[in-house]
Amino acid sequence: MKSKKSARIGLALGVIAVLVWSLGPLYWSMVASFTPPLDITDHVFHYFPVRPTLEHYGHLLGATSVTQGNITESVWPQFSRALVNSVITVTAATLVTVALAAFGAYAFVRLRFPGRNALFALVVATLAIPAYTVMIPLFRLMVSMQLVDTYVGVTLIYVSAFLPLALWLMRSIYQSMPLSLEEAAWIDGAGRLYTLVRIVMPLAAPGLIASAMLTFLSAWGQFMVPLVFSPTMATKPLTVLIPEFIGKNYVDYGLMNAAGMLAILPPLLVVLFMNRFLISGLTAGSGK
Amino acid sequence: MESMDVTATEVTVRAPRRRWISAEGGLGIVLAMPILLVMALLVFFPVFVTLWDSMRRIDPMRAGTPFIGLANYFKLFADQNVRTSALNTLVYVAVTVILETVFGVLVALMLNRVKRGRKWLLAAILLPWALPPVVNALVWSWIFNPSHGVLNGLLMDWGLITSRHVWMNDRVIAWLFISVVHVWRMMPLTAVIILAALQGIPAELYEAAEMDGAGSWRKFRSITLPLIAGALAIALSQSTVFAFNLFDEAWILGGASVDTRTVLIQVYQSAFQDMHFSYGMSLSVLVMLASLAVSLVYVLKVHRETRFD
């Protein structure tokens, strides 16, 4: 009995330690986002915002404020523009990637064509290629196609970067599905594409959602690709805009942390409400 | 399993007239074509160009782009900065892979025992992995900030240090902190992979072992460890590839400092800062080959796992 009790206490301590490790750094960033600029830079240490303020969020989302006689212009024009850019490129990349993977993976599993296995191996092998390896030729290519700083250009690069994982995932999903269902449909005279869209894909929906979530998170977090291919506000996403709040001489820590807190909201929602799909996606490749 | 599917497919769908490509094969090509096009244009072709250019001298300061064979590669081995960055990367790989594996397994074992609220605990653990790496790095640089950071604040509050440290000035501490930030992001992946394997272990095995009087350690050694070995290998190769490709954390926390820069930062420096394009490309080719070699272990392992399922 006694060892059972101590085991439970040990488990509780472990849970607390893991929660502090995972959420502590984010908590600290959140504290900074609610702390007035003067309190951030005074050298007194506080565990929570003593005089909480929405000043930094206001600064991001629309209000012009006055600190020590300096008028701080709202960064809402840039922030909203970057938010729209992020949403457009990430949504487009996710939809295209999942669509290509959903149809393509079926071909790689059920339809025999010459060079099938070689193509699959080549595509999956690109998972191991660091982005820097292709950066210079890719940039020249994008310039020649006049796709630098366009939604189409950035979306295409995201698709090429995240398609291999989605394809791998969807292939393992289709492989685990019984052939008998499809055979029944064929016997009833249904065509291949009809069977795929009306019977196979609905059954593979959890896999499709998992691929979409993984692609969404990867694209949302991209930094290096848009740094090179989205040089202006025309397509610049949040991840590139936020580090720019670190000026040459002055760092607005409150603003930076507030912007970071807003940028993590979409991934936070995905993790909270979609974690079942995420986890099935992360482990599907490992064979179980 | 795969081979069985394939034979079944062939039996049912083989076209009545034998042609080089069946109707099904034609559909297969149509469905795979967009993938081939995107990958060929945006990945295969640029990789090929990089391989080719890494054997030429491309330098805006010097005229012409002559073919120089493997000269860039030989030069790499003698380059002091390349050696230092390779050492840094090896340190990061060793430290992060060990920490991610040990703590990933511990967290997975713990999660496997939690009965109530596991979904929410899992969400909390997964969160650092899901966030944009840039935001992660900014959050941590704020923690390590010499003047206003929480680390100095806490340590001084507890009386452990008396003056504020500029943490990144000490090479060993910088190595450790950059590794910690990377582990914070990647450990959830190991934990999730191991947890999935743990959940596949039948409870009867443990019950039988308990009847035989086995203790916790004995059960872990004789049941858990052998049954998660496959997942462990996958998690290990994943961690290794990600550590090889470490960039964001070292870049935001350590900048271009030679003491902390990784091989990929060295690639960026050579190619984009110093404008030695082909020289930087040859280094990136070596990183690619190393990643491919490690990934091959992963792919072969997964292939075997799925085949024997």
Residue with tokens 């492989």: A175
Q: Are residues A87 and A195 in the same domain?
A: yes
Q: Are residues A193 and A60 in the same domain?
A: no
Provide the domain count of chain A: 3
Residue-wise pLDDT tens digits, B112-133: 988 888 888 999 999 999 999 8
Domain ranges of chain B: 1-53, 72-307
d(CA B16, CA B18): 6
Amino acid identity for residue B99 in this structure = L
Is ipTM over 0.95?
no
pLDDT value of position B227 = 86
A8 lies within 8 A of chain B by CB: no
Q: Are residues A213 and A229 in the same domain?
A: yes
**Cβ contact B28–A275 (<8 Å):** no
d(CA B128, CA B105): 17
Q: Are residues A95 and A19 in the same domain?
A: no
Residue with tokens 């890494």: B54
d(CA B20, CA B69): 41
Residue-wise pLDDT tens digits, B134-156: 889 889 988 888 877 888 888 88
d(CA A88, CA B221): 50
Task: Please say if the pLDDT value at position B15 is more than 60.
Answer: no
Nearest-CB residue to A132 (from B29, B106, B267): B267
Task: Please say if the pLDDT value at position B8 is more than 50.
Answer: no
Q: Are residues A122 and A209 in the same domain?
A: yes
pLDDT value of position B188 = 94
Residue with tokens 């960064």: A75
Q: What share of chain A is helix, strand, coil (3-state, %, to 5)?
A: 75, 5, 25
pLDDT value of position A248 = 52
Contact A170, A207 (CB under 8 A): yes
H/E stretch holding A66: strand A65-67
Residue A202 has which token pair? 């609905």
Instruction: Label residue B280 by pLDDT band (50, 70, 90).
Output: confident
Q: Are residues A226 and A251 in the same domain?
A: yes
B210 lies within 8 A of chain A by CB: no
pLDDT value of position A86 = 95
pLDDT value of position A261 = 92
pLDDT value of position B21 = 64
Q: Are residues A207 and A247 in the same domain?
A: yes
Q: Are residues A167 and A46 in the same domain?
A: no
Window 203-262 of A: residues touching B by CB (8 A cutoff) are: 217, 220-224, 238-239, 242-243, 253, 256-257, 260
Nearest-CB residue to B42 (from A41, A130, A138): A138
**Cβ contact B306–A28 (<8 Å):** no
Return the residue of B nearest to A260 by Cα.
B135
Residue span of the structural domain in which A2 resides:
1-28
**Residue closest to A266 by CA, chosen among A96, A92, A83:** A83
Window 30-89 of A: residues touching B by CB (8 A cutoff) are: 32, 40-41, 43, 45
Domain B72-307 CATH (choose: 3.30.70.2190, 3.40.50.300, 3.30.1490.100, 1.10.3720.10) = 1.10.3720.10
Q: Are residues A111 and A245 in the same domain?
A: yes
**Residue closest to A186 by CA, chosen among B244, B101, B39, B9:** B9
Between B276 and B103, the more confident residue is B103
Q: Each residue's pLDDT tens digit in chain A (288 positions)?
A: 557 788 889 899 999 999 999 999 999 899 888 988 777 776 666 777 878 888 888 888 876 666 666 666 778 888 999 999 999 999 999 999 999 999 999 999 988 888 888 999 899 888 878 777 888 889 889 999 999 999 999 999 999 999 998 998 999 889 888 888 888 888 888 888 888 888 899 999 989 999 999 999 999 999 888 988 998 899 999 999 888 877 655 677 888 889 999 999 999 999 998 888 888 887 775 543
Question: Hey, how many other C-beta atoms are within 10 angstroms of the C-beta on A123?
Answer: 24
H/E stretch holding A70: strand A70-72
Residue with tokens 């916790």: B216
Contact B302, B234 (CB under 8 A): yes
Contact A201, A102 (CB under 8 A): yes
Task: Please say if the pLDDT value at position B88 is more than 80.
Answer: yes
Q: Are residues A22 and A93 in the same domain?
A: no
Q: Are residues A220 and A273 in the same domain?
A: yes
Residue with tokens 């049912």: B12
d(CA A159, CA B264): 23
Give the angle subtended at the CA of A258 by the CAs of A252 and A261, to the nearest 5°. 140
Residue A146 has which token pair? 């006049």
- Indicate the DSSP class of residue A72: E
Q: What's the predicted TM-score (pTM) here?
A: 0.86
